[in-house]
Amino acid sequence: MVVPQSNSKDDLNPNKKITLKVLVPGTVAGSIIGKGGEAIKELKSKIDALVRVSNRDEIFPFTDERIVLIVAPYNCVMEAVKFVHTKLRTTLSEEKGKSPKKRGINRLKEMKLIVADTSAGKIIGKKGETVKKIQEEKEVKLVLTSKGSWGVVPGERVVTVSGEEDNVNSAIEEILAVVAKDPHARLDKSLVYPQYSMFDNFLYHGPPDCLYRAPPSPRKNMGPPPRCGRGGFDITPRYDGYQSEQPFPRARGGPPPRFY
C-alpha cells in the first residue's frame, strides 16, 4: 500500500537547510548590502542564515541582474526572502518616482527565484495542478522557465512570482515548502556563472525563434536599368540632405566629385 505524501507544512523539518537564489536589479543589490554592509550584517544577526550578494560584474546569464544567495534553515529562510522583497519594492518605488521610464512597474511587483530543476517539476505538479492551485489561492501569477527555453542555465530554473506584496510572500512560502520536500534538490551555491556565448547556447537550446527567417522571395524581372547618361547609369551624385545644405550641381563630364 502506497501512502500519499502530505501537503501539510507541519511534517517539514524546521532545521533542514534550504538553498535559494533571488535575482535583483543592481540598485536593489546595493540596498540589500547597505552602507558599509550594515544592512546585510543586521539581517545575519537576527537569523541563522548565509546571505551573499554577487559583485557588480557577476550577473545571471543573459540578464543584467545580480544574484542573492540564501542558505538557511526552513524556519529562517522566509525571513531572508521577505527582507530582499521589501528592499526590492522600496528601492524600485523610489526609482519610479525619480524616473518613471527607468524601471517598469512590472519588475516592481515581481520576485524572481532560482530553484533546482527537480524542484521546478514539483512546483508545476502533475499536469500543472500545483502551480494552478498556488495561483488561484494566493492570487498571483506564477511563471517558470522550461528546459527548452532560450537562456536557461542547465540544472536551474527561474520562478517568477508577480502580484501584491503579501500575496507574493504567501506564494513563496508555498514554493519553499515544495522545495523543502524535494529530496533531490541540488542547487549550486556559486554566484559566478561561466560566460555562456551565443554559440554555446545554440548547442544546448538551439537558436532562438527570432533568428529563424523565411527564405527571401525571388526577385522580379524589372527589365534593364534606365539610360540616364553615359553607359546607361547616372554618374551625378544625388543630394541626400547630409553632405551639404545645397544639392551638388550636375556634372558636366569628367569624373564624379569625391567624398571624404
Q: What is the pLDDT of residues 220-244, one digit of tens each?
A: 666 666 665 555 555 555 544 444 4
31 within domain boundaries: yes
Kindly state the average pLDDT of the residues 187-211. 66
187 assigned to some structural domain: yes
Is 238 inside any structural domain?
A: no
Distance in angstroms (rounded) separating the CA atoms of residues 27 and 95: 9
Number of domains in the chain: 1
* Average pLDDT score over residue span 149-155: 77
CB contact set of 91 (below 8 Å; sequence gap of 6+): 25, 27, 28, 31
CA distance 12 to 6: 10
Give the CATH number for residue 86.
Answer: 3.30.310.210
Domain presence at residue 6: no
What pLDDT, on a 0 to 100 scale, did the predictor assign at position 102?
47
Per-residue pLDDT at 132? 96
Asked if residue 167 belongs to a domain, the reply is yes
Residue 10 lies in a domain: no
Residue 231 within a domain = no
Residues of the chain with pLDDT > 90: what percent? 53
Q: pLDDT tens digit string along 14-39?
A: 888 999 999 999 999 999 999 999 99
Q: For residue 255, is it left (φ>0), alpha (ψ between -120 and 50) or beta?
A: beta
211 pLDDT above the threshold of 70: no
Give the structural domain span for 147.
Answer: 17-204
The answer to whether residues 16 and 180 touch, using CB atoms and an 8 Å cutoff, is yes
Q: Which three cell numbers stand for residue 174?
A: 508555498
177 assigned to some structural domain: yes
